[in-house]
Amino acid sequence: MNISSYLPEENPFYYPISPIKMVKGKGLRIYDEQGKEYLDCISGTFNLILGYNHPEVLEAAKQQMDDLMFASSTFNSIPVDALAHALVAISPANLTKAHLRSPGGSIANEGAIRIAQHITGKRDVITLFRSHIGQTFAMASVSGFSTHRTPFPNTFPGGVQVPSPYCSRCFYKQKPSDCDLLCVTRIDDFIQYASTGSVACILVEPILAVGGNIIPPPGYFEALKTFCEQRGILLIFDECQTGFGRCGEMFAADYFGVSPHIMTIAKGISGIGLPIGAILTEERLTGLDKLFHGFTNGGWLPAAAAALKTIEILQRPGFLANVRQVGQQLLNGLQALSAKFPFVGEARGAGLMIGVEVVTLENQPDNATALALHKALLEQGLIVRISEHGRGNVVEMRPALIATEQDIHEILERFEAACQAIQLPSFPVPLMR
């Protein structure tokens, strides 16, 4: 079949799309039609934690496709059964039940909220400023970004947003050393004055990802969990980006040493990008009838088989230690660049989940320069994302967890070259100061 004969002359896409057409990928690298190689520092859409087309995971998925491509979730199956056991085994000890009927992260989050509402009999959902927890109608309604609601005249009620633990730009203008964690204790004011008074859950990304790689300070999650338990509120961790080794531990819950009552996972779970999502809960939170949260492609068998192989690889000796080591190498390198280039601000990270602020000379967010840097990085063949869906000032970097020292070295070299390029007067997007 000659595909080009089907290509219409006009752009058929509803939305604008990049002129770069990708054709092939391997490991951390992806190649366009012209054969240009890009080093992907965001692992696809933060989901290819084992890089492009990891051969062992691909093989596991292909084998499952040969054996059985699909079975209704009315029935159990070999990969889904094994995956439920494996997820319970690797997640924090209190999470003993796996719900595997969601095809992705937004829907897993909606399921977690439904479970919380069903169990508590309460309704509102608290989320953090700057949290991105999905794009479905319900998730946009409770998003930490008002921009996700702007074009729609109507959204679901019941979402309350509270300040995030963003210490270097604290909402309450405090210093972490003596702030008394107002970002936890003042949630009471929001419950009293901004909610219906009936709060089912607090849903947080343990590290705010799209919001700018914001890492809560020590003690935050302990305090937040206690706050929830004293008020009969369930604490949900959205580990769609942080989970599956991204922070150098299996989950951010392990990194912070605090386990939530419910955890959602998606994105990285299948290693190479096959869609699947999961909800892990405590035993006492079971009971939501399965008819209330089930989707045709939830628990898709080839994705479950891929996820099992991914878990096996993550558990190999030294795998997560390497994530911590190369993550530190990347962080150190970016911090060194911050000393060289005035617009490169704070670099922060956990494992291979790293963000770099782009700032003015007064250390204020410099979104225009962040976009200029994004463009310069792409010219260097380095794929990154800018926070807040391209509206923010933080360069987000999440290379695949299989990155080697040499890969990180190359990423840093290209990053530095891009920084040098945007300082030149010839660079097409001027620095905004």
Ligand X SMILES: Cc1ncc(COP(=O)(O)O)c(C=O)c1O
Give residues in contact with ligand X (CB under 6 A).
Answer: 104-106, 109, 132-134, 205, 209-210, 238, 240-241, 266
Token code pair at residue 39: 């080093």
Helices (H), 257-354: 301-314, 319-340
**Closer by beta carbon to ligand X, 261 or else 267:** 267
Token code pair at residue 277: 């999502």
**Closer by beta carbon to ligand X, 155 or else 420:** 155
**Closer by beta carbon to ligand X, 191 or else 352:** 352
**Closer by beta carbon to ligand X, 73 or else 109:** 109
What is the nearest approach in angstroms of ligand X to the Cβ of residue 250? 16
> Which one, of 322, 271, 297, 235, lies nearest residue 86 by Cα?
271
- Give ∠ CA 206-406-58 in degrees, rounded to 5: 65
What is the nearest approach in angstroms of ligand X to the Cβ of residue 371? 20
What is the nearest approach in angstroms of ligand X to the Cβ of residue 161? 15
**Closer by beta carbon to ligand X, 181 or else 209:** 209
Q: Are 309 and 95 in contact (CB under 8 A)?
A: no
**Closer by beta carbon to ligand X, 115 or else 191:** 115
What is the nearest approach in angstroms of ligand X to the Cβ of residue 112? 11
Q: What share of the chain is helix, strand, coil (3-state, %, to 5)?
A: 40, 15, 40
> Which one, of 106, 117, 108, lies nearest residue 294 by Cα?
108
**Closer by beta carbon to ligand X, 216 or else 333:** 216
Helices (H), 6-121: 43-46, 55-67, 78-90, 105-120
HSE value, Cβ hemisphere, 13 Å, CA-based, for 393: 19
**Closer by beta carbon to ligand X, 43 or else 369:** 43
**Closer by beta carbon to ligand X, 273 or else 333:** 273
Residue nearest to ligand X (CB): 105
Which three-class secondary structure state does DSSP give residue 390? helix
What is the nearest approach in angstroms of ligand X to the Cβ of residue 267? 6
- Tokens 């338990």 belong to which residue? 229
What is the nearest approach in angstroms of ligand X to the Cβ of residue 47? 8
Token code pair at residue 368: 């225009």
Question: Measured between alpha carbons, how far is 105 from 317 in angstroms, rounded to an integer?
Answer: 28
Question: Measured between alpha carbons, how far is 188 from 227 in angstroms, rounded to an integer?
Answer: 9
Helix (H) or strand (E) holding 255: helix 252-256
**Closer by beta carbon to ligand X, 144 or else 333:** 144
What is the nearest approach in angstroms of ligand X to the Cβ of residue 300? 13
- Tokens 């080794």 belong to which residue? 245
What is the nearest approach in angstroms of ligand X to the Cβ of residue 129? 14
Other CB atoms within 10 Å distance of the CB of residue 70: 12
Question: Measured between alpha carbons, how far is 321 from 300 in angstroms, rounded to an integer?
Answer: 30
> Which one, of 131, 108, 111, lies nearest residue 119 by Cα?
111
Question: Measured between alpha carbons, how far is 145 from 133 in angstroms, rounded to an integer?
Answer: 10
Q: Are 247 and 255 in contact (CB under 8 A)?
A: yes
**Closer by beta carbon to ligand X, 142 or else 419:** 142
Count of residues making up the chain? 433
What is the nearest approach in angstroms of ligand X to the Cβ of residue 8? 28
What is the nearest approach in angstroms of ligand X to the Cβ of residue 92? 18
What is the nearest approach in angstroms of ligand X to the Cβ of residue 297? 12
- Three-state secondary structure of 195-215: CCCCEEEEEECCCECCCCCEC
